[in-house]
């Protein structure tokens, strides 16, 4: 039981940073390619 819990905790601890990087990349790509956001930035900078 303890080995299973330890394995689970280690697996989750190692997977979380990978997931965070992927989510950050997806968010940044979505913001860069969103036409509404790009239009708002263009109007703000005009």
Q: pLDDT of 1-46, one tens digit each?
A: 678 888 888 877 777 666 667 788 889 989 999 999 899 999 999 9
Residues in CB range of 37: below 8 A, 6 or more apart: 31
Residue 14 · residue 21 · CB < 8 Å = no
Q: What is the pLDDT of residue 38?
A: 92
Q: What is the pLDDT of residue 25?
A: 87
Q: What is the pLDDT of residue 16?
A: 66
Q: What is the pLDDT of residue 19?
A: 67
Handedness of CA 20, 15, 18, 30 (dihedral sign): negative
Q: What is the pLDDT of residue 18?
A: 67
Verdict on whether the full-model pTM lies above 0.85: no
Q: Within 13 A of 18's CA, how many CA atoms are on the CB side?
A: 5
């Amino acid at each position: 039981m303890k080995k299973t819990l330890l394995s689970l905790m280690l697996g989750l601890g190692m997977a979380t940073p990978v997931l965070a990087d992927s989510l950050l990349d997806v968010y940044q790509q979505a913001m860069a390619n969103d036409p509404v956001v790009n239009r708002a930035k263009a109007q703000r900078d005009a």
